[in-house]
Amino acid sequence: MFFSKPGQFGWQKTDAGSVFLLASLEQLAPAIPPHLLDLGCGYGYLAVGAATQIFNTAPAAITLTDNNAAALLAAEKNCALHQLTATLCAGDAGNTLSQKADLLLCNPPFHQGFSVSGDLTDKFLAAAARLTTHQGQALFVVNAFIPLEQKARRFFAHSQTLANNQQFKVIQLCHQKQSKAKK
């Protein structure tokens, strides 16, 4: 169960892309990361879902960030509802954060109003590169038509599509070259 408010992304529904990202994360069967970051968290679905559904226990540190105050309030309420201790930070694409995460989850916006632009995608990729540890990974879910893999080459040494259902794709980004992604 999640709390959200009118006007917030995903209000009165669970975003299909975010569900797809969590399902892909579950298939990776990752170890519990010491620090989980939900970049552009909205009402906290990715961080709360990862901690409660995938890991079954909370990482030592969970950080959620968004530029929308109402979204952060909803994320705070959802963390409390699911008994998660988390740090919530207001900021534009994580610009107020300095601590790096071992696992970064992101369902970034790719448009502002009616304008579809790669600028927002680049902003979130740059933030993810800055906020992911050298050994860590960032998992992004985007609409299938977004060329995230190509854009990520400027910021990450490794980019791999982990899943693609023709509507959304989940991309794994790492600072280190990977011989083969975990399955």
Residue 6 has pLDDT above 80, yes or no: no
Residue 158 has pLDDT above 50, yes or no: yes
DSSP bridge partners of 35: 61
Q: What is the mean predicted confidence (pLDDT) over 153-159?
A: 96
Give tens-digit pLDDT for 116-128: 555 888 999 999 9
Domain ranges, ordered by start, for the chain: 20-99+127-138
Contact between 155 and 128 (Cβ < 8 Å):
yes
Q: CATH second-level architecture of 20-99+127-138?
A: 3-Layer(aba) Sandwich (3.40)
Burial of 112 (0-12, 13-18, 19+ CB in 10 A): exposed
Give tens-digit pLDDT for 85-137: 999 999 999 999 999 999 999 999 865 444 455 588 899 999 999 999 999 99
Strand order in the sheet with 168-174: 87-90, 61-66, 35-39, 101-106, 132-143, 168-174, 158-164
